Structures are given as C-alpha cells and as structure tokens.
Structure 1
C-alpha cells in the first residue's frame, strides 16, 4: 500500500484530525485507554500553490525564514479523558510538538515558555489540567538510540530516601511526563501495538527521492491501523492532496535554500570577525613583546 509520509505537517495534521486515529496514536504511546478526546482549534497556515513571484508567497517565505532562524515547530493540542488503572476517569491536556528539522534547545525552551504564557481557552473552566507532552522529531538525538522513550516523574522522599506512591494534584499540574518519538530510528519491527502504530512513521521504502510517499509493507491486522493507513493512502495518492504535500516539500526546499544562504553568509562574517579578533590578539602580543624588549634595553643602558 502506498502511504504519505506523516513527518510532513499537512499529512500529520490530516491524520490527527481523525478522532479514532488521534486516540490510537495518543493512547498507544501513553499505554492508556482514551475514553474521549477533544481537539483544540489549531492555527495552520499553508500555501496551496507556490509561486515565488506572488507577493503573498514571498511574505509567507519571509515569515517562515524568520521562524526557521528562530524555531519551527508544529503544535497540536488535545484534551483527553483517560480511564486510570483504578477505574477512575481523568482529563489531561496532551500537547504534541512535531519538529521535522534540528532545533536549538535554548530557542525551543523559550518557545515553550511563550506558549505557556498564552491563555488556554480549551475548557470553559479556568482550572488547569495535568499536561503530557509528546515530541515527534524528524532528527536524531545523538545520545538516545531508541525510537520511542518516556520521561516520567517520580516522587521521592529525600528525608527517608524512598519513593512516594501517592500523587499530589498541585504537583501533577506543575510538572508533566514527556514522550519522545525519533522517526528516523524507527525500524521494521512489527510486534507490539506500539510497533504497529510507529510503523507508519518509518522513514524507509520511499517510492522516489522526494521521500513524500512510501510503500507500507506490513500486514494490516487492526481496525485502528487500517484507518490510519487509509487516511495516509488517500493523502499520498489523491491528486489534490498529493499536490498539497509536494507544495509543502517545495516550500521547505525554498526555505532551506534561503536560510542556508543566510547561514553561509553569517558563517563567513563570523569567520572574518574571528580572524580580525585573532589578528588583534596577535598584535597585542607583538606589542607586549616589543615593550619587554624596550624595557630590557633601557635597563642595560642604565647599567
């Protein structure tokens, strides 16, 4: 089966707009039963037709260049009602952050801080919700080879040096668990429910060098996976959807080329500055050496 590559924003968004697929993706990662899920309205801007002579496209590209030099992350928010192991129902806020390209950590932290400053209008009530964050990365973390990891909190009594099993509502809403998916590290392993969910993100078996559509070679053995691949198949084969996907790729190529030129010029300027600074340091050393020689000559003359 031919499917579109969900690492692209337009494909990932379309996939996650389906409630059942969103529950499959989130519930499988969290290993929780998702009873219901509510999607927060997202701001999503995309140029369907890329004409570089069009002022609107130029404005779009300029904006994206500015974002790219800072940070470019796609964010989707959900409010999920989960059924806990004790049979209780709990609402949590799910934040999915997807980045196709390498990002600067400090800039990303600043971005998250700005996001949290914004007033959250998901619920009618002003009561905060516990947060779980999912990071979908299109680049590799050099220190971590696993395609999927969970970073979870643990309450520890520092006096008695033991783990506390009880949970505090106050603490739960101030801190949160995180999940990280590295799509480039996903293999063809197809055993568990998690393996099967991640398999659609596997970055192999592309039909051409564009890497926007690929062959899904695994046996589809569940309704959730069937629905997910069906949506991705439509996104990869429908002429209109395929054109939208190709436009996104072309937009990114344009942005990559322009930002690459900017970075190249920046690197050249930094190199010139570095060379000038080194020349000044060398000159200072020469001057200091001359001062010492003059001082020695003056001492000899006085003697």
Structure 2
C-alpha cells in the first residue's frame, strides 16, 4: 500500500495541476479529446483566500483536436469545491469569465469570445444524479428539433458545455480511462490516521497516465509546504464550520420565535373572533331592547315605568327613544 496526498485539498490539487503533463492527461480524459497545447491562465481569481477556501479555481487555454483532425482554441474553467453551497459563486465566476476581455479574440469578421468549457469537481452529491461524471452538452437544433451539424462563433461565444464530477460516487469505479484516473480522488481511500493522505494499492494503478498522477501526489504527500498548507485549510474550514453552525443555530432560534409568534397571533385571532361574536350579540340585544322600549312607549307607558321594567335609568330610556 502507498500513501499519497489527498487531492481534495486545494493545495494538493493545485500542485497536481501545475504539472503540465498531468494537467494535459486529466483534462484530456475529462474532455474525451486530445489536448495539443495547454497553458495555465493567470490565476487572479483562483488564489486561495480565507474567505473562499471552500472553492478552488484554475483556468486554462487549450488547443484541442477534434476527431476529424480540426483544431481550435477553448478556455477551460476548472472549479473544485467540497461544500454544497457554492452555486451562486460558480455563477458569479462564470459571469466574470464572460466579461473578461482577455477571453476575446479578433477575427476577420468580428470579435468573438473563446468557447468556454466549465468543469466542476464536487466533493458532494447532486440530487438524483448518481453517475460519477455527468456531461452537459449543447446541441444546435432547428424548429423541427433536427440537429444542425455546423458550429457558429457567435453562439459558441455565448453558450458553453459543462462536465460535473461527483467524487462521492467514484467508489472504486474503473470502467474507463477517466474513472481509473479519478480513482485517485476516491475519499474511501482516506488513511485512517491522517485525512491529508489516501492509502492506495499501487498495483491497481499500473497505466502510464495513472502512474504519473500517482507519483505527483506521492511527492505532494511528503512536501513540507504542502502538508502545512493542508493544515491551514483544515483550520480555515474548521472556522467556516463553526461560523455556519452559529448561523444555523441562530436561524433555528428565529424559526422557533416565528412559530411562537405565529401561535400567539393565532390565539389573538381566536380571541378577536370571540370578541367580535360577543359584540354582535350585544348589538342584537341592544336592538331588541330599543324596539321593546319604543313599543312600550307607543303603548302609553311612561319613561319611569319603562325604566323600571328594563332596569334602566330614565336617561337611558330617553336616549333609546330619541335614536
């Protein structure tokens, strides 16, 4: 058994992808296309920051070769997270890339953006999708839903394909070349004494490409600066979890208070309803007494006699008669 650095950590993943050969191998396998040239972009958006430790980003410009031999430039936007709350940040970063003038190219017939391929490596599961790798591909269709084979630079500038990797569903799957590479991310291999390391059977990773990735992670596992960076990530993540726990508890308290207020409002509503019914009854009684007073007055009884019959004051009787 061999111990390698756990690539779920941002510092390890960055170290892994900074090797040009490794990056080409992994990205080619994900795209299922040959990458002829690969260049890592300036990482002004992907620097590890304490406030955004849960998401890591890397950008590449790649010249890819299609099955028919055609070559073209694309931008690969690679994002990795181990928390399930990053959708908004993913969208914000994607918007930043669309706005970045460095991603535009001058053509004879106009200025166009580089086609973007977004890759999301997730440390969590997505809803009901149980496949470890999910491809989201666009198609050009006409009104009758027939596929249009040609591609247009205008459309390619405004839309993009995506690849989603769900690490929890890897589970030792080795059905194809990509899954054999991604097996080195499988968190089932976590070393019992140290979450920073994965304990793997090197005899299962005998392919040339797998060996390159494994050796790179092996070096990361013994590099002091990488080990320190993983410790920092743990500390920051711990602080984030504490913060989220406090927020969650406060939200629970707010929900309880809202429920209590809801019950009190319900009780007040019932009391108001009861008071309303009592007021209606009083109004009806007043109308009955008023009508009786008028009838007795018309029958010739004096104010004092009527007052005695209803236990009212003479002033009240006069008020009822004059309404």
TM-score for both structures, normalised by structure 2: 0.79
The alignment's C-alpha RMSD in Å is: 2.4
Q: Per-residue CA shift, 1:174-226, capped at 9, x if unaligned?
A: 11110000001102122421121111111112222642211122533232221
Is the contact between residue 2 and residue 237 of structure 1 (CA under 8 Å) also seen in structure 2?
Answer: no
Is 1:121 aligned with 2:106?
Answer: no
Q: Cα–Cα, structure 1 residues 122 and 216, in superposed 2: closer, same or farther, change >3 Å?
A: farther
- Distance in 2 separating the partners of 1:240 and 1:114: 33
Report the Cα offset of residue 127 of structure 1: 3.8
Q: Per-residue CA shift, 1:109-165, capped at 9, x if unaligned?
A: 65246524652436785641011100100111121111111011112212x332222
Residue aligned with 2:138, SS: coil
Equivalent residues in 2 for 1:75-94 (5 A)?
A: 75-94=57-76
- Distance in 1 separating the partners of 2:225 and 2:146: 58
**Aligned equivalent of 1:208:** 192
Q: Cα–Cα, structure 1 residues 240 and 169, in superposed 2: closer, same or farther, change >3 Å?
A: closer
Q: Cα–Cα, structure 1 residues 156 and 102, in superposed 2: closer, same or farther, change >3 Å?
A: same
Q: Cα–Cα, structure 1 residues 91 and 117, in superposed 2: closer, same or farther, change >3 Å?
A: closer
Q: What number of residue pairs does the alignment pair up?
A: 281
Residue aligned with 1:92, SS: strand
**Aligned equivalent of 1:29:** 30
Report the Cα offset of residue 281 of structure 1: 4.1
Q: Cα–Cα, structure 1 residues 250 and 221, in superposed 2: closer, same or farther, change >3 Å?
A: same
Q: Per-residue CA shift, 1:69-95, capped at 9, x if unaligned?
A: xxx421111011001122111000100
Match of 2:80 among 84, 93, 98: 98
Larger mean Cα displacement after TM superposition, 247-256 or 267-276:
267-276
- Distance in 2 separating the partners of 1:274 and 1:104: 29
Match of 2:126 among 123, 141, 144: 141
**Aligned equivalent of 1:291:** 276
Is the contact between residue 104 and residue 114 of structure 2 (CA under 8 Å) also seen in structure 1?
Answer: no
Give the helix-richer structure, 1 or 2.
2
Report the Cα offset of residue 286 of structure 1: 2.7
Residue aligned with 2:62, SS: strand
- Distance in 1 separating the partners of 2:224 and 2:175: 33
Is 1:262 aligned with 2:244?
Answer: no
Is the contact between residue 234 and residue 241 of structure 1 (CA under 8 Å) also seen in structure 2?
Answer: no
Q: Which has the larger radius of gyration?
A: 2
Q: Cα–Cα, structure 1 residues 113 and 219, in superposed 2: closer, same or farther, change >3 Å?
A: closer
Q: Per-residue CA shift, 1:14-66, capped at 9, x if unaligned?
A: 111111111111110110000010101214555xxxxxxxxxxxxx75xx2xx
Residue aligned with 2:157, SS: helix
Match of 1:163 among 136, 143, 147: 147
Is 1:182 aligned with 2:163?
Answer: no
Residue aligned with 2:7, SS: coil
Residue aligned with 1:212, SS: strand
Is the contact between residue 112 and residue 154 of structure 2 (CA under 8 Å) also seen in structure 1?
Answer: no
**Aligned equivalent of 1:8:** 9
Larger mean Cα displacement after TM superposition, 122-131 or 283-292:
122-131
- Distance in 2 separating the partners of 1:259 and 1:301: 62
- Distance in 1 separating the partners of 2:158 and 2:98: 14
Q: Which structure is richer in relative contact order (CA contacts within 8 A, separation 6 or more)?
A: 1
Q: Structure 2: 5+ residue runs without aligned partners? A: 289-323
- Distance in 2 separating the partners of 1:120 and 1:193: 36
